[in-house]
Structure 1
Amino acid sequence: MSNVLDELLDLLGLEAIGMNRFRGRCQDLGFRSLFGGQVLGQGLSAAMQTLPGDSGQGWWPNSLHAYFLRPGSVTESIELEVSLLRDGRSFANRQVIVSQKGKALLSMICSFHRPEDGFEHQTIKPDVPGPEGIASQVELARQWRDHFPERLRPLYTADKPIEMRVLNPVNIFSPEARAPEKVVWMRADDMLGGSVREHTSLLAYASDFNLITTALYPHGVSVYQKDMQVASLDHSIWFHRPFRMDEWLLYCIDSPSASGGRGFCRGQIFSASGELVASVAQEGLIRKR
């Protein structure tokens, strides 16, 4: 397993510090505050570690709904407290409060479901080019390295645990207005084991990349412009079918609305073979200061 992926799995794994309480380290990705996807992934991981059985094996998350309450610091650890709301025969529910220095950063409700058979239908996977031959976001960052502040270049151009390849990417330093739609291929950069917790917490982590920035497309602005304030406000994921994060997934994102300083985005995540494995929705702050 690659070093960067192993480090991320360790970050999401957490340290148990009491009954249904955990401590997590923080990762500096070069953003102005703690990356929301990290807290989502850690929150889901904490909830799954309190499920009946071995670290949630035998359960799949069917949904999570989270509110980001305040920005977090990358220099301080976080604490996660899980409340066991319900343990049923088919469903289990958890509430997770993530805090830092005594103040809540995120409130999340998670629902888990034991696999069962039932009716099946889904939307069709878009017909788009495969990931082969598309530059990764790291490769693009290395092409643009001279545009980044010197202190951030090592962070933005370093190897990443999740490889992401955007079809027809925007030049983040000279963005042009376009339709609010984005298509991204993504996968872990090395093989993973069979842990449900690892695959689902990695998806929660990765789902926060590329999402709210799609709401900026029609306005010809970028999160890398100094006068832009962009932050996640809430985030929901519905897990439809099993998947593996070490296989290519197609993340199709659009933004149907922006108003009042907020942008709304939604995403559908497909396996390469065409199965709809998850749906995502998020509202975020998109404020030009």
Structure 2
Amino acid sequence: MALSSKKFLAMTILVLAFLCIAFVPSLVMEFLGDVPSLQRLPSSSIRKIAQHVIVKRYNSGEYILKERELAGGTYFIYEGVVEVSGQFHTHNNDSQVFEWRKFDYFTQSESIRQEDVIALTKLTCLMLPYKYSFLMDPKSIWSEDMNLETIAPVEHILSLEPLDVNTFRGITLKGAPKSNKALAAASKTVHFLKILHSFHAHFLLPGDINIPVIYQVDRLGDVCNVATRRVNAVQKERIVFFLIASFHREEEEEEGFDHQEPTMPSVPGPEEVLPKQGLEEGVKLPGHGPRGVVSTPTYVPWPTEIRPLDLKTYTRHTKRHPSVSYWLRAKGRLPDDKTLHRCVGAYFSDLLFIQISLNPHRREGMLPSSISLDHSMWFHRDFRADEWLLYVIDSPTAYNARGFSRGQMFNRRGELVLSAMQVGVVREIKTPSKL
């Protein structure tokens, strides 16, 4: 029996409503954030890709792309299964067949294809036209364009080269304190709406700053609004460092509790404190270089401004209280990426940390040594690392050659934005006795 015109119209409206709801921009962006191959991109690139993709639907058995067909675009599988088959010109001319499913993607470039792509089931794809393909190849994992003349030094320091969806390579740039980019690697394997909230790191072996580090990421878990990652930092086929990082999607403000017990110390603002060209142990600030010095592929200017509140002059041999407070911020302007700012905060936290546990034990002629064993951090609130932050560090105890330091970082409104703790081996370097 034929449907009445009213029923047909009602069904048509329902179908059109479903299609509109299913692919509103927010849901498209939600899907794209879960595509592993896109997670290495800057969040701004994913947002732009979401604006330009086109919904494509196919029936089972229908060709999406044909061999030797000219077209253009990158197809992200939203729902369904595709078969990819083609001739691989080997010595025995074998053909191979692959199946791809949700979150896989395939690209049709402007060159001639060598394989067919066929829908095995009903299929929905999001197709990014070829003219927007540049969005898939940004200059940096943090921003779409990396201009070495204007980039903030710390963004350059925390940049990585993606080798595949779970593996990254990083180098230590000259001119900057050594840094570990494992946190950045972990961040580039999660949905960009899931923000870093904690990590626990362990230092296993000394690294070599003269050779690249390979960061291997294990995707331990993705549950609703939470993701967990483990990262191994590898040099010379040995794990020299690993961390576990957790990410949490921001909740609605009315759904969470809010309180803060620690209060920011009453101290002069950073404008009232003169910069100091050195913090003795741990942080060695170089003298100002010539004007116009910029980043290069292998060099970066000193990345932070530091203004200590205690202006007394100390040396590595001066005994003092195991605490320090200073203002700091990144030089230059950073992209609006919340995870980048948290990675920079973690980088800041380690510039001068475990060394504070040595302060009560310093004396003339002593050569101190400190080596990190583990480092943990918790991020409480959003902050910008290119705006002034007050870092308050103290060391409650040292015993059995282990020092313990803890730190709290506040923004200028007095809000506690992060907490950190570190344990390390601290001891005196013994010089060989003379005969």
**Same fold at TM > 0.5:** yes
Matched, 1:26 2:164: no
1:28 CA drift (Å): 4.5
Separation of aligned partners in 1, 2:333 and 2:386: 5
1:182-218 CA distances to partner (integer Å, 9 max, x unpaired)?
1011101122220123211111111101211111111
Contact 1:261–1:287 (8 Å) recurs in 2: yes
Return 5+ residue gaps in structure 1 as ranges.
Answer: 145-152
Counterpart of 1:252, as a letter, is V
Secondary structure of 1:132's partner? helix
Separation of aligned partners in 2, 1:2 and 1:269: 29
Separation of aligned partners in 1, 2:363 and 2:212: 33
Task: Determine the structure 2 residue equivalent to 1:135.
Answer: 274
Aligned CA distance change for structure 1 residues 180 and 4 (closer, same or farther; 3 Å): farther
Task: Determine the structure 1 residue equivalent to 2:36.
Answer: none
Separation of aligned partners in 2, 1:99 and 1:260: 29
Aligned with 1:8 (options 141, 144, 154): 154
- Count of residue pairs brought into register by the alignment: 264
Task: Determine the structure 2 residue equivalent to 1:246.
Answer: 386
1:115-157 CA distances to partner (integer Å, 9 max, x unpaired)?
11311111211111211232334x247xx9xxxxxxxx9x833
Matched, 1:179 2:283: no
Aligned CA distance change for structure 1 residues 264 and 28 (closer, same or farther; 3 Å): farther
Separation of aligned partners in 1, 2:174 and 2:425: 21
Aligned CA distance change for structure 1 residues 243 and 157 (closer, same or farther; 3 Å): same
Separation of aligned partners in 1, 2:234 and 2:425: 21
What is the RMSD computed on CA atoms of the aligned residues?
2.4
Aligned CA distance change for structure 1 residues 188 and 121 (closer, same or farther; 3 Å): same
Aligned with 2:341 (options 181, 199, 217): 199
1:9 CA drift (Å): 1.4
Matched, 1:120 2:261: no
Matched, 1:50 2:194: no
Q: For structure 1, which segment, 181-190 or 274-283, has the greater mean C-alpha deviation from structure 2 after superposition?
A: 181-190
Aligned CA distance change for structure 1 residues 72 and 259 (closer, same or farther; 3 Å): same
Aligned with 1:92 (options 215, 227, 230): 227
Q: For structure 1, which segment, 1-10 or 192-201, has the greater mean C-alpha deviation from structure 2 after superposition?
A: 1-10
Counterpart of 1:77, as a letter, is P
Contact 1:66–1:234 (8 Å) recurs in 2: yes
Aligned with 2:197 (options 54, 62, 81): 62
1:173 CA drift (Å): 3.1
Secondary structure of 2:201's partner? strand
Task: Determine the structure 1 residue equivalent to 2:116.
Answer: none
Counterpart of 2:347, as a letter, is Y
1:227 CA drift (Å): 2.7
1:103 CA drift (Å): 1.3
TM-score by length of 2: 0.57
1:71-102 CA distances to partner (integer Å, 9 max, x unpaired)?
11111010000000111112110000011111
Separation of aligned partners in 2, 1:170 and 1:68: 33
Counterpart of 2:379, as a letter, is F
Return 5+ residue gaps in structure 2 as ranges.
Answer: 1-146, 289-300, 430-435
Counterpart of 1:205, as a letter, is Y
1:169 CA drift (Å): 4.8
Counterpart of 1:121, as a letter, is H
Contact 1:66–1:106 (8 Å) recurs in 2: yes
Secondary structure of 1:82's partner? strand
Q: For structure 1, which segment, 192-201 or 92-101, has the greater mean C-alpha deviation from structure 2 after superposition?
A: 192-201
Task: Determine the structure 2 residue equivalent to 1:190.
Answer: 332
1:249-289 CA distances to partner (integer Å, 9 max, x unpaired)?
01000000001111100000000111100000001111102
Identity rate, percent: 38
Secondary structure of 1:218's partner? helix
Counterpart of 2:335, as a letter, is G
Task: Determine the structure 1 residue equivalent to 2:412.
Answer: 272
Aligned CA distance change for structure 1 residues 221 and 212 (closer, same or farther; 3 Å): farther
1:224-258 CA distances to partner (integer Å, 9 max, x unpaired)?
x8832211111001000000001110100000000
Contact 1:136–1:165 (8 Å) recurs in 2: yes
Aligned with 2:368 (options 225, 228, 232): 228
Aligned CA distance change for structure 1 residues 288 and 30 (closer, same or farther; 3 Å): farther
